[in-house]
Amino acid sequence: MTAVERWATKLAEWAIPREILARAPESPWAPARSMFVRRVDRQLGESATPTHEAVRAAGGAALDVGAGAGAASLPCASALTRVTAVDTDAALLAEFAERAAALSLPHETVEGRWPDVHERLGGFDVAVCANVLYNVRDLPAFVAALNRHARRVVVELTERHPMARMNPLWRHFHGVERPDGPTADDAVAAVRELGVEPEVVSWEREASPMPFDELVELTRRRLCLGPDHTDELAAVLKATPLEKRRLRTLVWSPDRTGRTSGAPPIGR
């Protein structure tokens, strides 16, 4: 099995068992919009991450893929001439546009899924894609479209699959074992197999807690549980310490023939 095939296979294992999904009172995949909005507002006031530093170093016109409310691109506004945000969620794109306007940053929004919408776009100095890769099974098409549209590509992802932290809860409430991969190392192996040799920066930051009632509600939905489990889930979550977020930033520079080369070093 190739690294690209391994990535897709491991992601497919995250499908929720049919019998559990059939009993779910609500969709477990409803977007947590308030979380994304808080994230961009917090990062606008904090020091730059390695991802932001890489975007700022490229400067110019930026493409933010899976932008949410703009946490990966808007903190870099002073180094950008314009930014195009691509996301499937119209409400989050509206939040992005409101903040970009407040920063006097020329911008546009494109509602749709990458790479399905890439033919509608032109070229950019930098493309950034933060915390999206674990939703992407077809890495070849995704990466090829990024390479086609940008002179520099910046990808951020957590060290482990973001849902892996909930594995003990799945065990507790459903008695099932969930996957523990893929990981950032698997992502690096897969993009290398695609001809990309990225610079990789490992970094971490303190977890930013959401309001506890919101955390309980979001986790309950993700676990396919009904409201009758709220109190038990709250008790379990209160006893669970917050972990630091461990992340990787991958940076590479496609040339115009489709090959790639390592990007200049970026700060930590």
Q: Residue 219 falls within a domain, yes or no?
A: no
Per residue in 199-231, pLDDT (tens digit) is 999 999 888 778 999 999 999 999 999 999 999
Q: Residue 21 falls within a domain, yes or no?
A: yes
Q: What is the pLDDT of residue 264?
A: 39
R_g of the chain, CA atoms, integer Å: 19
Q: Residue 214 falls within a domain, yes or no?
A: no
Q: Residue 82 falls within a domain, yes or no?
A: yes
Domain count across the chain: 1
Q: Residue 192 falls within a domain, yes or no?
A: yes
Model pTM greater than 0.75?
yes
Q: Residue 85 falls within a domain, yes or no?
A: yes
CATH number at residue 191: 3.40.50.150
Confidence class for position 260, pLDDT limits 50, 70, 90: very low
The residues, any chain, with a CB within 8 Å of residue 257's CB and separated by 6 or more, are: none
Q: What is the average per-residue pLDDT within 76-91?
A: 98
The residues, any chain, with a CB within 8 Å of residue 102's CB and separated by 6 or more, are: none
* 234 vs 212: CA distance, rounded Å: 8
Per residue in 175-187, pLDDT (tens digit) is 999 999 999 999 9
Q: What is the average per-residue pLDDT within 142-147?
A: 98
Q: Residue 220 falls within a domain, yes or no?
A: no
Q: What is the pLDDT of residue 207?
A: 81
CB 121 within 8 A of CB 149: yes
What are φ and ψ of residue 116, in 5° steps? -55, -30
CB 151 within 8 A of CB 70: no
* 225 vs 207: CA distance, rounded Å: 25
Confidence class for position 46, pLDDT limits 50, 70, 90: confident
Closest CA to 114 of 64, 153, 65: 65
Confidence class for position 30, pLDDT limits 50, 70, 90: confident
What are φ and ψ of residue 34, in 5° steps? -60, -30
Task: Name the residue range of residue 37's domain.
Answer: 3-161+179-208+243-262
Q: Residue 34 falls within a domain, yes or no?
A: yes
